[in-house]
Structures are given as C-alpha cells and as structure tokens.
Amino acid sequence: MKRLIHLVLFGLTLCCSLLLFAGSAPSGSFSWSGGQCKKLHRGILFAEMKLTEPRPLRIYCARVDLKTPGLFLKITGRAEHWGEPMPDAPDFTIRTRRITTREFLLNARKSGVNMVLAVNGSPWRPWREPWNHKYSDCLGLLISDGILVSPPMQGRPSFVQRKDGSYGFETVAPDGDHSHLKMAISGFCMVLENGKVTGAEKALAPRTGYGLSQNGQYLILLVADGRQKGDSEGLTHREVGQFLQYFGAMDGINMDGGGSSSLVCWNSRKSKKTAKGAEFLNHQPNGGERTVGGQMGICFDK
C-alpha cells in the first residue's frame, strides 16, 4: 500500500513538473498564411492571442518582412546635451531622452519619417526614485544610423543591422569593435539561440521580445501583457523564447519589459482606440504608458 502511495505521489510530482516547465506557447508553429492574422501595413502582419492555460495571457506579435522594398529600421538617437552629466542624476551621462513609444512614433512622423510601427527596446538607468528622470544612460549598445548613442555593456546582446545590410544578434564586449554596425539595440539576454529555448528568469511580467527567422528575412516582435490578474498575468524569460519560436524565430532576445512593454502602430483612420493616429496594440494596467530610454521603429520610404 505504501509503495502504491509513493508511486501515486511520484506521478503527481512528475505531472506538476511537466506542467511547470512545459511553458505557455502552443505546440507546433503559427501559420502566418492563415486567417489568424491581419495585415498592418505592406510587409507587416499582426496576430493577437488570448490564452487561458497555463494562466490567462494576452500575446501580441508582429512579423516584419525585412526584404520589403523601401523598408528600414530607425533607432532612438542621441539626446540634446548628449555626453553631459544628467542634471537630475549627475552620476549618469545623458544618452537619450525618455519618451513613450507612442511619442517616438508620432515624433518620427512629424519629422517626415514614415514610421508605421514602433516597439520599446533597451533597458536603461537610472531606475530609482522618483522614477521620472528626463534622460537615460546604460542602455547597452545603441547605434542609430551609424552613430553611437550608448556604448556596449558586458554581457548585453544586441539586435543589429550590419553595414552590409544583414541582420542578426551580437554581443559586443565593452572594448569590442562595432564599426561594422549601422544599427544596434540591446536587451537583457538571449532567450532563443539556434532554435534552442534558453532563459532562466522565472518571474511573470509583461515582456517584449525580438526574434529573427532562420533565413534572416522575418523580424518577430513579441509583446505580452502582464500583472493583470485574470486577464493576462505575464511570461517568464523562457516563455518569451518559446513564443518567439512559435511565431517563426530561430533566435531571439528578451528586451526591457514590465511597464515598458509597448507596441504601437500608425492608423490613419482615427477611432476611439487611437490618439492622433497612433494606436497602442497591447495593454498596460490602468492604461499607463511609461517613458522609456530606447525604441525601434519600422519605417518606409514615402
């Protein structure tokens, strides 16, 4: 009898372990050619998922065809007074001006750049009370149109575009050479490498992930809502990798998350969901939008 009880307990423990480590992403791969997605813009498809297992989740994903004629990426550039000490945090150096991702898209359009999609990117410092510093520093490697905005940091991987036009992920050492890069934006860690899911952080939070397909043609931009009990409770690092893989990525990186996670598109048809044509595709608790240090936008020649 004791042996039977032990076997039952072992079986229950094994099942719980499998459920714990199985992750959230559905099995198989997402079909971008089916009716589950919609066209946001030429070369950009968008899918939204609502799941109940293993917990309530809302997932948003855009697939960008990087080979679309006229398409280019834009990264947050240098702030005015770049390189000077921050007035409200003099132990840090001014690199970028903190703005919301919606503002990033709208500002680009006001300046004549045809930006149609924007997503948050780099983590930054200072992140301490009063939490509302005007500028940001310590973003990891950030390069905008060939101009260095923020130097590399130890162990921080970056999504990059090289000067030969190719895309990929690179981890540049603090004293490493980055002269071959036209664009770079850094995250916290790799969560998908050569088709293998990685990532150790187990806390649930809103998340942002960037992925790249095996042939380098498709950029996968993933955002998950979180901290909204009963509606969307967030992902772990490993689950970010699983979802990036599910949506077609071979490699992927976990970017800044939490209250920073934001995905915004341009919608010329204004409605109750849009503000000045900029539509927030995901949802933060209480509708909040955080000012962040670094973003990436998908743009087109006019």
Give yes or no for residue 17 having a pLDDT over 80.
no
* Within-domain flag for 247: yes
pLDDT category, 7, cuts 50, 70, 90? very low
Query: Do the domain assignments include residue 10?
Result: no
Q: Which domain holds residue 225?
A: 45-300
The whole-number pLDDT of residue 270 equals 60
Say whether pLDDT at 20 is over 50.
no
Chain segment 209-234, per-residue pLDDT in tens = 999 999 999 999 999 999 999 999 99
In a domain, 147, yes or no: yes
- Helix/strand/coil (H, E, C) string of 76-141? CCCCCCCCCEECCEEEEECCEECECHHHHHHHHHHCCCEEEEEEECCCCECCCCCCCCCEEECCCC
| Residue 26 is assigned to a structural domain of this protein | no
pLDDT at residue 273 tops 80: no
Query: Which band of pLDDT confidence, cut at 50, 70 and 90, is reported for residue 275?
Result: low
Query: Where does the pLDDT of residue 13 fall: very low under 50, low under 70, confident under 90, or very high at 90 and above?
Result: very low
DSSP per-residue letters across 8-37: HHHHHHHHHHHHHHH-SSPSS---TTSTTE
Q: How many CB atoms lie within 10 A of CB 148?
A: 17
Rounded average pLDDT over 137-147: 98
Q: Which two tokens stand for residue 114?
A: 């045809």
The answer to the question of residue 97 being in a domain is: yes
Taking the CB of residue 49, how many other CB atoms lie within 10 A of it? 18
> For residue 266, is it within any domain?
yes
**Is 20 inside a domain boundary?**
no
Max intra-chain CA distance, the chain:
77
Query: Contact at 8 Å (CB) between 235 and 242?
Result: no
- Alpha-carbon separation of residue 2 from 14, 70, 172 (angstroms): 18, 70, 57
Pairing of strands 158-162, 196-197: unpaired
Do residues 216 and 168 touch, judged by C-beta distance below 8 A? Answer: yes
Q: What is the mean pLDDT of residues 170-193?
A: 98
Burial bucket for residue 116 (CB in 10 Å: 0-12, 13-18, 19+): buried
Report strand pairing: 181-186 vs 196-197: unpaired
Give the pLDDT mean for 267-282: 74
207 within 8 A of 163, measured Cβ to Cβ: no
Residue 83 pLDDT > 50, yes or no? yes
How many structural domains compose the chain? Answer: 1
Q: In the predicted model, what is the mean pLDDT of residues 249-278?
A: 85
For residues 160-165, give the mean pLDDT: 97
Question: If pLDDT is split at 50, 70 and 90, which confidence band does 287 have?
Answer: confident
What's the whole-number mean pLDDT along residues 103-122? Answer: 97
Single out the residue of 134, 101, 158, 154 nearest to residue 294, CA to CA.
Answer: 101
Task: Tell me if 8 is assigned to some domain.
Answer: no
- Cβ count near 89 (within 10 Å): 17
Q: What is the pTM of this model?
A: 0.91
